[in-house]
């Protein structure tokens, strides 16, 4: 409702400004005032036009108000303050509009590609990976809610140094052969043990092994890393086969972990195929032909192929010592170079494609993985019109370099539709670290948060975190839901735990460092997932006790002609505020997508739950004696439930039947 009324008022104002002052303004500002006493919408346009028209803002505002006349959905307009124009809505019409549904009218992209999660397949997923995956999955849901066609990709770096380190652990620290590694994987599978957990410990031990000997020993040990990395990249040898076995087994576990959070993928492009299918070779020629890359003949980058960094200004003849190296002097390609090739493919600009094979079965679709020689029949995943890369803020420079390369190659439209969806790290509160069984020093206990490190073995495995959240929630469910069956209690515990985790990761803006805490996330009070879920459960209980349904009460509301008495007066301002909040869904969705910020919707759902709870405590819904008013109050609850469930669904949060 709000988004349509906002656009309607802005359009009407544009017409008035054109006809009265012969002024054309493309974006007329229409705001939501901080308090209902200033109306439901307002515009500062008169203040902005004062200098142009050489009149006092208040005079301009009065002239505009007189010219606005009547507008469907609006009760009237008034001048306020130094020249603001406040708009008051027709409240009855507003309620009818909210009941009819809050549609969207956003600018759709033909084909949006979102890349998220992208965990190195060398060990178990950890808490930091969960922020990436939850942010990415939620943004996918928002884009789809707005009507976009979205493909979800999870990039797998199966040839990088992290995988190499685990392979070094298997082959050199544990002294296993290819056959023994294959046998170990079978034994772990048979016994129900987790290969990603095994690799977690081995990765930490290998990282420490590189530093435990003398300087000479450590130097020799690290030679294993570089030799192993080279063999993995080259392929066609036993070391590469070990790497493929391990990375594929760990990747499957990652997908199983994320599925617990209802996170799914469409395609898993692997770096091994980018290398072996010669994506870089094609991209290299394109980069040289367009002049993006040049060969440096002197200075610290002598012998390298380099490109200018974004915003670099170098005088003619001056050496650019800060140029980004894309191909090293030894001929190896940097991460950014491979990423440029990958993004040319994403936009359909490379002229080359992956092979595809089915890898992981979801309830309603297949997840495909890249291969050198795949199946003849497969979906098409490249050729996107817009790209969002969910990658932490530490990768801002490489991401900026990829965009710079696209621009330099003449792909301006694609560069304009390439978004680095960045975010900050996840840490633990000291209390949470203690709860997880870690020994925390007195110094760390006084810190606001403690950073985690998989390399040092100090971290929170994603599955352990989810298990612990479910166990803690289960204890509470056992106290409250004694009459329910075991399976029901378990389902409720899982829904609340997953809701708590997802909401905690989403309520902070992306540029905020998160200090995760069990007690904060699981609280039924304050800005948490359980608080919003409980509001929905409370509404369901109202209809259960009342022997009616939300659908029935909304149908009855349509038969009531006069609603104004239930919406006007100071005693009913909270009800009107709740209806207004319910009508903001598409507006907030528009804002969240425009700013790439799911936190806006998390805040919206909390405020909706909060305003419903205020309404619930003030008005006696089921004991109301006036039948028409009772129907109106029940319809208010019905709309609140509908909006809570829809927006929580966009956040990937289910609403339990009971809590």
**262-275 residue pLDDT tens:** 999 999 999 999 99
* Residue 369 backbone phi and psi in degrees, to 5: -130, 150
State the pLDDT at residue 410.
97
Picking from 605, 582, 508, the residue whose alpha carbon sits closest to that of residue 101 is 582
Name the E strands within 362-412.
Answer: 366-371, 386-390
Asked whether 422 and 392 are in contact (CB, 8 A), the reply is: yes
Q: Determine how β-strand 150-153 pairs with β-strand 366-371.
A: unpaired
Token pair listed for 85? 């124009």
Residues near 658 by Cβ (< 8 Å), separated by ≥ 6?
480, 481, 484, 492, 537
pLDDT, position 317: 75
Q: What is the mean pLDDT of each run of 10 residues along the chain (659 residues)?
A: 91 95 94 93 96 95 95 95 95 94 61 96 95 98 94 96 96 96 96 96 94 92 92 94 98 98 98 94 96 94 93 81 92 90 97 97 96 93 96 94 96 97 93 84 86 67 94 90 90 97 97 91 92 97 97 95 91 95 95 96 98 96 96 98 98 95
Q: What is the pLDDT of residue 219?
A: 93
Closest of 235, 67, 91, 230 to residue 164, by C-alpha: 230
Per-residue confidence (pLDDT) for residue 102, from 0 to 100: 62
Closest-CA residue to 309 (of 301, 387, 421): 301
pLDDT at residue 456, as a whole number: 56
Q: Select from 592, 656, 614 the least CA-distant residue to 135.
A: 592
Non-local (6+) Cβ contacts of 516 within 8 A are 127, 426, 427, 428, 429, 432, 460, 504
Architecture of 2-89 per CATH? 2-Layer Sandwich (3.30)
Identify the pLDDT of residue 444.
83
Nearest to 277 by CA among 353, 333, 344: 353
| Phi and psi, residue 42, nearest 5° | -155, 160
Tell me, what's the pLDDT at 67? 95
- In the chain, where the domains are located: 2-89
The sheet carrying 84-89 orders its strands as 41-43, 84-89, 74-80
**Token match 């009237």: residue?**
76
Q: Name, in order, each residue with C-beta under 8 angstroms of 579's C-beta and a sequence gap of 6 or more.
A: 91, 94, 95, 98, 567, 636, 639
What pLDDT shows up at residue 457?
54
Task: Give the span between the Cα atoms of 398 and 395, in whole angstroms.
Answer: 6
């Amino acid at each position: 409702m709000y988004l349509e009324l906002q656009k309607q008022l802005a359009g009407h104002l544009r017409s008035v400004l054109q006809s009265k002052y012969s002024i054309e303004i493309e974006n007329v500002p229409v705001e939501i005032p901080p308090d209902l006493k200033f109306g439901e919408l307002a515009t500062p346009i008169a203040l902005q036009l004062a200098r142009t028209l050489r009149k006092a803002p208040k005079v301009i505002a009065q002239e505009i108000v007189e010219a606005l006349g009547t507008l469907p959905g609006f009760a009237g307009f008034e001048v306020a303050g130094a020249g603001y124009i406040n708009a008051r809505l027709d409240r009855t019409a507003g309620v009818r509009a909210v009941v009819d549904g809050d549609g969207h009218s956003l600018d759709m992209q033909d084909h949006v590609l979102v890349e998220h999660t992208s965990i190195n397949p060398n060990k178990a997923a950890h808490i930091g990976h969960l922020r990436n995956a939850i942010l990415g999955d939620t943004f996918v849901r928002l884009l789809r809610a707005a009507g976009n066609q979205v493909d979800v990709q999870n990039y797998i770096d199966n040839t990088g140094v992290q995988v190499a380190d685990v392979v070094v652990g298997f082959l050199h620290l544990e002294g296993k052969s290819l056959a023994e590694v294959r046998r170990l994987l079978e034994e772990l599978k048979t016994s129900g043990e987790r290969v990603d957990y095994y690799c977690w410990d081995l990765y930490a031990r290998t990282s420490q092994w590189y530093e435990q000997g003398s300087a000479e020993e450590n130097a020799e040990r690290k030679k294993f890393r570089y030799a192993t990395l080279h063999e993995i990249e080259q392929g066609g040898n036993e070391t590469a086969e070990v790497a493929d076995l391990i990375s594929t087994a760990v990747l499957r576990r990652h997908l199983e972990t994320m599925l617990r959070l209802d996170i799914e993928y469409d395609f898993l492009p692997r770096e091994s195929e980018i290398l072996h299918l010669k994506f870089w070779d094609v991209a290299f020629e394109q980069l040289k032909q367009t002049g993006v890359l040049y060969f440096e003949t002197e200075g610290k980058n002598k012998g390298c192929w380099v490109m200018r960094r974004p915003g670099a200004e170098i005088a003619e003849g001056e050496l650019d010592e800060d140029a980004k190296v894309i191909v090293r002097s030894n001929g190896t390609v940097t991460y950014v170079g491979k990423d440029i090739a990958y993004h040319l493919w994403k936009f359909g600009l490379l002229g080359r494609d992956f092979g595809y094979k089915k890898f992981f079965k979801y309830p309603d679709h297949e997840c495909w993985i890249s291969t050198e020689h795949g199946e003849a029949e497969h979906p098409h995943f490249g050729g996107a019109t817009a790209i969002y890369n969910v990658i932490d803020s530490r990768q801002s420079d490489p991401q900026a370099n990829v965009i710079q390369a696209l621009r330099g190659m003449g792909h301006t439209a694609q560069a304009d539709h390439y978004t680095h969806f960045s975010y900050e790290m996840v840490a633990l509160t000291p209390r949470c670290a203690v709860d997880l069984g870690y020994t925390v020093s007195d110094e760390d206990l006084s810190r606001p948060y403690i950073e985690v490190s998989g390399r040092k073995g100090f971290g929170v495995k994603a599955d352990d975190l989810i298990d612990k959240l479910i166990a803690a929630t289960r204890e509470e469910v056992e106290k409250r839901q004694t009459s329910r069956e075991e399976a029901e209690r378990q389902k409720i515990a899982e829904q609340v735990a997953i809701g708590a985790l997802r909401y905690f990761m989403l309520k902070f803006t992306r540029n905020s460092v998160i200090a995760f805490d069990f007690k904060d996330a699981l609280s039924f009070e304050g800005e948490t997932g359980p608080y919003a879920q409980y509001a929905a459960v409370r509404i369901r209980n109202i209809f259960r006790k009342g022997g009616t349904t939300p659908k029935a009460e909304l149908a009855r509301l349509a038969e009531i002609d006069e609603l104004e008495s239930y919406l006007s007066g100071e005693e009913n301002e909270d009800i009107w505020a709740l209806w207004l909040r319910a009508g903001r869904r598409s507006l907030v969705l528009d804002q969240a997508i425009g700013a790439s910020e799911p936190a806006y919707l998390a805040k919206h759902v909390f405020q909706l739950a909060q305003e419903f709870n205020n309404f619930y405590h003030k008005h006696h819904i089921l004991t109301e004696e006036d039948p028409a008013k009772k129907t109106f109050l029940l319809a208010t609850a019905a709309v609140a439930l509908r909006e809570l469930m829809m927006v929580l669904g966009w956040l990937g949060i289910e609403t339990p039947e009971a809590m």
